[in-house]
Structures are given as C-alpha cells and as structure tokens.
Amino acid sequence: MSFYKITPIGPLSKSTEIIRYVALICFIFCQAPLKAEEVKNTNKSLSLYEALSISIEKNSNVLLSRSQVNFSQGVAKQQSGAFDIIVNGQAGVSRSVIPNDSYTAGNSVYGTGLIIPYAETDKTYTQAGLTKQFSNGVQVSILGTQNSIDSNVYAAQGDLTQNQGLLTFQVVVPLLKNAGGAVSSGLRAAEVESLASQDDLEYTVNQMVLNSALAYWDYLGKTKLVEISTKNEKDAENSIKEYQKLIAADQLPKSEVVLAEASLKEKKATRLAYEQALIEARRTLGRSLGLDAQSTMAIETLSDQFPDDKSEKIEYVLTDLDQIIQNALEKRGDIKAAKKRIEKYEILVDAAQKNQRPQLDLALSMSQQGLAQGYSPYQGSSFSQNYGSSFGQHYGPGYGGFILFQMPINNNAARGLTQQQQALLRSYEITLVELGYAVTNNIQVATQGMLNSYDRLKEAKAAVEKYQTSVNNERTKRRLGLSTLLDVLNVEDRYNNAQIALVQSQIAYASSIAVFRFQTNRLMERDGENYALQVSNLLNPYLRNSSTSNK
C-alpha cells in the first residue's frame, strides 16, 4: 500500500512534524471509522491537513481503488504461475496372482523339479520429474522412472528381482501457434494492467483530495454565512430595541418600527436557510472524508481560512498554458492508465493474431535406460540395490522426435478472440483521444475560472469596504434627520449582500485553485513509490518550478 504524505501549512518544529506523521500512520493502520467522540475531541477545529489525511485513508472510493490494485496484482501473480517449475511424482505397489494352465501347473519349471501352480508377481513403481514452461513457448521436462519386478517364477529359475530405470529428457518447441511471446501474453498484459490500476489509484486519490478540499471550503463558507446572518439578525434586534426607546420618548413614530420588524423577520429566515445549508455542507464533508453519520455530525469549526488575493502575477498561467496542458497530458493518472490499457490490448491482440495459426509442435527427447538385478524390497534389499543400480548397466542414450500438427477447420475460437481484443483496443484508443480533448478543455476552463474568481474576489472585497463606509454614513445621516429608516435598511441590506457575495467569492476562488491544480495534475506529485501533497498548494495558484513550492 502506497504511503500518501501530507505536508501541513507553514513551517513546523521537528517534534510537531513527527507528531503529525505519527498521527497519519495511525490513520493508515486503523481502518475502522472514527468514533464521534474522537472527531469531537481531536477535531474540535478541523484543519485542512487533518481533513485530507482522513480522506486519503478512509474514503470508500480510495479503499476500493486500493482493492483493485491488490486484485490486479493477484491476477498478474496468477498468470505468472504458468511459468512455475512443476514438480510431479508418483509411487505404487501391486501384486498379481495368475493361475498357470494345467500343463505348466503339472510340470516342473525348466527341469528344476519345482511345480508352480500359479505365477505370483510383485511390482513397485516410482516416478519423479520436473517440468518448466518458458515465456517463449518452449517446454522442458525431465522424468525419472524406476520399476522393480519380483516373481516366484524368477525365484524358481534362480533369477533375482528385475530393477529397471528410465531417465528421460524432453523439449517441446512450438513452431507456429504459441510460439514466441504468445504464451506469456497473459502475464505481460496482467502486469501492464497492474500498473494501470496503480495509475487509477493515483487519479482516485487526487479526486478525493479535490472533493475533500471543495467540501472543506464549502463548509467553511457556509459557516461564515451563518455567522454573518446571525450577526445581522442580532443587529436588527438591537435596532428595534433602540427604535422602541425612541418611540417611548415620542422621538419616533410607531410606524417606523414596522419596517424594522419586517427586516428582522427576513433576516431570521435567511439565517435559518443558511443553518440548513450548513448541515448539508457538513454531511457532504463527512462523506468525502469517509466518516460515518455520527462522526460527521461531530464536526464543528474549521481551523484553516480561505486563500487571500495577494497574488499579483496569476496571469502567468495564460503564457504557460500550452506547457501546463502538455504536462497534464503526460502525467495525469487517468491518461497514464488509458495509455497502459492500450498497451495491454496491443499485447493481447498480437498474441490472438499469432494464435490463429495452426499448432505445429516439435518434440525432441533423449533417454537412458538401465537394468540391474537385485533383491526384492520385501527381502530387505537396500535403496542402492533397488534404485541406484536401476540406472546402471546402460549402453548409451536413446533418442526420439515427433511433430504434432493440429488445425481447426473454421478456427472460430481464435478468430473470435482476436475480434474481441481488437474491439477493446479500439475502445481504449477512442477513450484516450476523448480524454485528451476533455483534459485540454477542462484545463482551459479551470484556468479562466481561476482568473475570473480571483478578479471577482478582489472586487467583492472592495465592495464590502465601500458598503461598510456607506452604512456608517447613512446611519450618521439618519441620526441627523437627513435620511429615513428605509434608506438605512436599504444600504444595510446591500452591505449584507456584499458580505455574502464576498464569502461566495472566497469559496469560488479557493475551489478554483483546487480544481485548477487537479486538472493540471499538480495537487499531488510522485515521491518515489509514494505521493506527496503540500497543503499550501491549495492556497497557492502558482505552478512554476515545482508544484509544491511556496511563492
């Protein structure tokens, strides 16, 4: 399982950094859902670092993708089993008793004076061998066989047990079908698929980091909207109390408070709507992190804030856009996975086409056979007498060769398999082309979206500052009798709307950075066998030099 390294925002002391990584390792080895009490106690103020750490280790999509990696690695291991050395062996004993015919049973054996009414034969059989299939289709095997035969007829004749040994070496070479790398195509394709599944995992982790970041910013924004609406409601309540005092002192007509009360009702409705939106945002964040329902509801405040708008050279992405797109088309996990699956089906198509040929195998063998007489196993003879000597008394090796030919008349199985593999290859080629178009378009849209949201944020911030000044001025004019309550409420409403627009702009800008980095494959970067993410990337739109640089 790959280790995904998360770097928190800002410099840390060595001890703090160690504590952070120990916590992340705990996430890796504790796959059970977090308890609500743990979330409430340890994540009272949930940081973006903690959210992404939990998401990478707990999100169900990441866990499923890791399982797929394990599955594909298992398939590759299974395919490699075809090239394991196979050890085989067998052994057995048998006894046969065959009655002799009346003539043989009534006469002595070869003048020995012994009459044998039946032939009793004991046999022992032992065989052991090794077989190896090579990736080029050649199969090699070596086999040793030993037979021991003992009979009462042998004893009557004065003969000893017959020990026979046979050592055979055989090579089978495919000349057409299964020749070359066709036999190993399944293994090579499975190995490529295993690599593709790792690219899928990389892409899935990037997606989950993106989704978690978007959910984090959305929840933070909804929290701020609830704070703004709650404050506006409180301010409206205080204003009504002030107006009631003025009415009691006959300094303000009663009709003035009606408008203020209507405004208060409107602000309460707005606050309730934002509180419901906050609940929905909390649920989305919890699901992105892979938390259960109880743990999700235990999430309260967030510790990190939105990225600021202090960048002054964000427009660099327009001049670097072609290189940014090219980098993404080379390094994104989904692109790499699609390319590897094209490679996989190219292997399978090539093997399927070759295996449409007839089967023509050449088998060559060499053997050595020995014979020795010894004592029967039942008479206490030693191993060397019964087995070792069986391969002695030989007079040179034997040899043999044959050709095996086989060809289906219509060859539908091989032709159908080729057609299937070609169709799958073509589908992935089309997928890669379309994916390239989509990635290019998405990067262009994400780039423009980030630039626009950056400008929108600056304008929204300026609008809040201007409206705040206008509210103060209008209240001053109201106290001087130069403005009406309706004028004040109108300006306050505009100020409140500007505050809401600012929060929405902050959500949009923070989200646009995350989307931009995801589309350009700069959320995470490979660090050997692992992947590294610096949380400050989500606060920084810059890509130059390094995706993890702080500028």
pLDDT digits (tens, 9 = 90+) for 153-179: 666 666 677 888 889 999 999 999 988
Q: Distance (Å, rounded) from C-alpha 509 to C-alpha 189?
A: 43
Residues 6+ apart with CB under 8 A from 480: none
Q: Distance (Å, rounded) from C-alpha 453 to C-alpha 463?
A: 15
DSSP 391-439: G-S--S-EEEEEEEEE--SS-HHHHHHHHHHHHHHHHHHHHHHHHHHHH
Using a 10 angstrom Cβ sphere, with 0-12 exposed, 13-18 middle and 19 or more buried, the burial of residue 297 is: middle
State pLDDT tens for residues 384-411: 555 556 666 666 788 999 999 999 998 9
Long-range contacts of 136-140 (CB under 8 A, 24+ apart): 136/179, 136/180, 136/181, 136/183, 136/184, 137/173, 137/174, 137/178, 137/179, 137/180, 137/181, 137/182, 137/183, 138/171, 138/172, 138/173, 138/174, 139/171, 139/172, 140/169, 140/170, 140/171, 140/172
> What three-state secondary structure class fits 191?
helix
| Residues 337 and 196: beta-carbon distance below 8 Å | yes
Question: Which CATH code, of 3.90.1150.220, 1.20.1600.10, 2.60.120.10, 3.50.50.60, is assigned to 4-59+188-343+423-539?
Answer: 1.20.1600.10
Residues 6+ apart with CB under 8 A from 343: 192
State pLDDT tens for residues 423-452: 999 999 999 999 999 999 999 999 999 999
Residues 6+ apart with CB under 8 A from 228: 496, 499, 500, 503
User: Looking at residue 13, what is its pLDDT?
Assistant: 41
State pLDDT tens for residues 26-35: 433 344 444 4
Q: How confident is the model at residue 350 (pLDDT cuts 50, 70, 90)?
A: very high
Instruction: Indicate where the chain has its CATH 1.20.1600.10 domain(s).
Output: 4-59+188-343+423-539
User: Looking at residue 11, what is its pLDDT?
Assistant: 40
User: Looking at residue 505, what is its pLDDT?
Assistant: 95
Sheet of 530-534: strand order equals 4-7, 530-534, 525-527
pLDDT for residue 294 is more than 60:
yes
110: left (phi over 0), alpha (psi -120 to 50) or beta: left
User: Looking at residue 258, what is its pLDDT?
Assistant: 83
Q: What would the mean pLDDT of 334-354 be, rounded to a whole number?
A: 94
Distance of CA 465 to the CA centre of its chain: 48
User: Across the chain, what does the average pLDDT equal?
Assistant: 82
pLDDT for residue 306 is more than 60:
yes
User: Looking at residue 194, what is its pLDDT?
Assistant: 95
pLDDT for residue 152 is more than 80:
no
Tokens of 141: 């095997």
State pLDDT tens for residues 505-536: 999 999 999 999 999 998 886 665 666 777 88
pLDDT for residue 22 is more than 60:
no
